[in-house]
Amino acid sequence: MYFSIYNLTIKSDILLLNAITGLKTDNPDVVVKGVDNIVVDLSEMQQVGIYCWCAPQAFYLSIPNVANCYIYEGQCIDIALTESADLGLVTAYIQGYFLAIILQQRNRMVLHGTTLHKGGQAIAICGASGMGKSTLAMALIGKGWQLIADDVCAFDEQGQVVSGCSEIKIWPDVINALSLDELPVFSSGLEKRQLTFANQPCSVDEATLSYPLAAIYCLQTGAEQNAIDEYKGMQKFAPLKMNVYRTQFMAAMKTEIDFMKNCSAFISNIPVFKLSRDKCKLSQQGLESLSSLVINSLQSKA
């Protein structure tokens, strides 16, 4: 099976959900293989988590009771599934986490963010897990924006934002705050729900579109009220580094120099904002306030 995600042609033994079917080729960019066993010399890699090891061109992750996974050379993803593996969870890892690692091994810039586009321009909403990236994205989608990718903000060689899958994962409280219909779970072990968009790309040509970046918003929580402030000059590099996808892996993967080069090449002239969320319980009114701050900041830069 062939798929097109993040401008990569992927040959996969595992069905990828809500991904555009790609063109068959003898030279795919990425190969996803189901294997019986994975043997890796972890002594050659640095442990960066309880179940995770990495090196500049190699990444090993053991997901208890699900799979052992080996990602290497920017083009290979080997997965040894357990008998009780949750395939919904496995595909979510492949389409997000693992392809982000592949892109980083290819020296691409990848931020931990959700991206949207409207009127030919893209924005990235960045932040740590649980900050509300997908939640704010849903509020903006209600105002006419369209999803590019959820949770992984990936750039091509020219610094434009590339498309992921036509799905977004949100928590049940977001469904309640936005008065959405009940949504299916994507994994039996997680509470998050999955929303798929019918108006997303339906061909390889559409799936490989890229979008110029207009602004980046770095979400923070715990403020007294919703607020927005622009980082000026060199101030923007620290929050951007904090929002690199899996920033804790940068040293082991030796991607710091590439990050600075990509920032200088692609983002030096892009406005970067600190977007502060108040401490109040999630509500439609609060999301309206946050999304208005984003829209007004874009209009002020037009």
pLDDT tens sequence across 126-141: 998 888 898 899 899 9
**8 A C-beta contact, residue 32 and residue 14:** yes
pTM recorded for the entire structure: 0.91
Residue 72 CB neighbours (<10 A): 17
Compute the distance between CA of residue 148 and CA of residue 139 in angstroms, rounded to an integer. Answer: 15
Compute the distance between CA of residue 87 and CA of residue 80 in angstroms, rounded to an integer. Answer: 12
Of 6, 258, 287, give the one whose Cα is nearest residue 133.
287
Of 49, 51, 81, give the one whose Cα is nearest residue 65.
81
Task: Assign 15 a pLDDT band (cuts: 50, 70, 90).
Answer: confident
**8 A C-beta contact, residue 163 and residue 201:** yes
Mean of the pLDDT values across residues 281-288? 82
Inform me whether the pLDDT recorded for 229 exceeds 70.
Answer: yes
Inform me whether the pLDDT recorded for 292 exceeds 60.
Answer: yes
Mean of the pLDDT values across residues 167-189? 72
